[in-house]
């Protein structure tokens, strides 16, 4: 058994006080004893005591788990990592990785033992935890403990929310995706994280903000060529400096040489349990110069996009395309949306993202289809 107990909202001096007092558990003290001696009491002399909720909650947790599993305090403390700002995490597809204290190495969280991820009051707004909940559904050895856990995520139109819907133990339509949770964001820890990304994927990657506008928060990166101080400072500022409690997180996917890119306007027919495709557009990106040298790929600034019409009936009749889209839409809860997929130069089909509603790109050839699409969207709201 391994327990990761998150205390990442705690100031360092209070965290240090807590860790020092934990050592007393190995000397015949109990969690209740430490609450009696070191937790603030009204109308008492409170010199040398602490008055923060985390101390009380954690000590009661230690007593409860020691009793539940019949462990000595020494045995239990060897199984707990108190997660402060000296650990970084990321999810790579279905695996969870954690850094060591110096961020010099990442190891996979053991899938052969019971693993708890615990907090008592951290808000856990970061999308990393949304994926963690999903992994706990799929892998019975992972248990997430957070009182008042939300049944639905607060914000559910972002990219990682949609990615999380596609997690399953079967074929994974995204193939490769890394979702980080970096508690420590100094230059060295970011550098080591990116080195580990290179080991897991390859040199050329795409970094994306969870929520972006006109691709201002998308960066193509070659991991062997970012080392100069100005570049890593830029990456830190642009992608890694958001609050750990923000939904504006990042994810990283491989860079693919794109042969075709499709934007598909669909409705899901729940009665027939099948995806209905109303309109398909082809997208082609045109770059001036080296794509990896661009600070981002903002549309009409660093990339120019050409759109072309693609027959929706021809797309639907292509079994390979249709089955791929249909498989994705079965796993999403949206009754309508705009899915983006790419076909690589190696003939792989890759899910890119989904938007619940997006700009109406209308060609003369698909005007009737787009009108029918919107009519059906409204009809579904009244039926």
What is the three-class DSSP state of 344? strand
Residue, of 210 and 338, whose pLDDT is higher: 338
The answer to whether the beta carbons of residues 284 and 299 sit under 8 Å apart is: no
The answer to whether the beta carbons of residues 260 and 342 sit under 8 Å apart is: yes
Pairing relationship of beta strands 250-254 and 204-209 according to DSSP bridges: antiparallel
Q: Which helix (H) or strand (E) element contains residue 5?
A: strand 2-6
pLDDT (average), residues 222-230 = 74
User: How much is the pTM?
Assistant: 0.90
Closest-CA residue to 310 (of 274, 256, 260): 260
Measured in degrees and rounded to the nearest 5, phi and psi for residue 145 equal -120, 110
pLDDT (average), residues 210-226 = 80
Q: If phi over 0 gives left and psi between -120 and 50 gives alpha, with beta otherwise, what is residue 299?
A: beta
pLDDT, residue 267, reads 92
- Other C-beta atoms closer than 10 Å to the C-beta of 123 total 12
Residue 151, Cα to own-chain centre: how many angstroms?
Answer: 17
The answer to whether the beta carbons of residues 334 and 325 sit under 8 Å apart is: no
pLDDT, residue 172, reads 59
**Residues with Cβ within 8 Å of residue 147, at least 6 apart in sequence:** 120, 121
Task: Please give the angle made by the CA atoms of 200, 204 and 210, to the nearest 5 degrees.
Answer: 80
**Which residue ranges make up each domain of the chain?**
2-84, 91-254, 258-382
Pairing relationship of beta strands 218-222 and 115-118 according to DSSP bridges: unpaired
What is the token pair recorded at 104?
């010099």
pLDDT, residue 156, reads 58
What is the token pair recorded at 97?
């990785």
What is the token pair recorded at 101?
């204290």
Terminal Cα distance for the chain, rounded: 50
Cα–Cα distance measured from residue 96 to residue 220, given in angstroms and rounded to the nearest whole number: 24
pLDDT (average), residues 10-34 = 93
CATH number attached to the domain at 258-382? 3.30.470.20
pLDDT, residue 38, reads 96
pLDDT above 70 coverage of the chain, percent: 93
pLDDT (average), residues 49-69 = 95
pLDDT over 70 at 169, yes or no: no
pLDDT bin (cut points 50, 70, 90) of residue 298 is: confident
Chain segment 308-332, per-residue pLDDT in tens: 999 999 999 999 999 999 988 888 8
pLDDT (average), residues 3-22 = 93
Choice among 8-17, 108-117, 163-172, 269-278 with the minimum mean pLDDT: 163-172
Output DSSP code: residue 240.
I
pLDDT, residue 358, reads 63
């Amino acid at each position: 058994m391994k327990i990761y107990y998150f205390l990442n909202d705690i100031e360092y001096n209070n965290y240090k006080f807590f860790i020092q007092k934990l050592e007393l558990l190995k000397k015949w003290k109990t969690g209740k004893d430490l609450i009696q001696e070191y937790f603030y009491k009204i109308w008492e002399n409170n010199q040398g005591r602490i008055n923060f909720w985390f101390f009380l909650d954690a000590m009661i947790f230690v007593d409860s788990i020691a009793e539940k599993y019949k462990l000595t305090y020494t045995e239990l403390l060897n199984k707990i990592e108190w997660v402060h700002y000296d650990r970084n995490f990321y999810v790579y597809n279905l695996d969870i990785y954690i850094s060591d204290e110096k961020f010099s190495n990442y190891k996979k969280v053991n899938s052969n033992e019971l693993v708890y991820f615990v907090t008592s009051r951290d808000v856990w707004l970061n999308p990393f935890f949304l994926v963690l909940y999903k992994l706990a559904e799929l892998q019975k050895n992972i248990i997430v403990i957070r009182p008042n856990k939300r049944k639905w995520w607060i914000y559910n139109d972002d990219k990682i929310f949609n990615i999380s819907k596609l997690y399953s133990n079967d074929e994974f339509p995204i193939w490769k995706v890394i979702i980080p949770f970096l508690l420590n964001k100094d230059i060295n820890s970011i550098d080591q994280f990116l080195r580990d990304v290179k080991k897991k994927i390859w040199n050329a990657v795409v970094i994306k903000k969870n929520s972006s506008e006109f691709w201002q928060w998308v960066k193509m990166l070659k991991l062997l060529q970012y080392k100069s101080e100005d570049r890593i400072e830029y990456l830190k500022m642009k992608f890694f400096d958001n609050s750990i409690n923000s939904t504006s997180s990042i994810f990283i996917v491989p860079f693919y040489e794109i042969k075709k890119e499709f934007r598909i306007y669909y409705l899901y027919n729940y009665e027939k349990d099948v995806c209905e495709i109303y309109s398909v557009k082809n997208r082609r990106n045109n770059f001036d110069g080296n794509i990896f040298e661009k600070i981002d790929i903002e549309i009409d600034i660093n990339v120019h996009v050409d759109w072309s019409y693609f027959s929706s009936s021809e797309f639907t009749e292509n079994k390979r395309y249709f089955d791929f889209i249909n498989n994705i839409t079965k796993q999403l809860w949206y009754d309508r949306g705009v899915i983006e997929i790419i076909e690589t130069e190696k003939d792989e089909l890759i899910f890119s993202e989904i938007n619940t509603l997006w700009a109406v790109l209308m060609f003369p050839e698909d005007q009737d289809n787009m009108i029918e699409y919107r009519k059906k969207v409204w009809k579904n709201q009244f039926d």
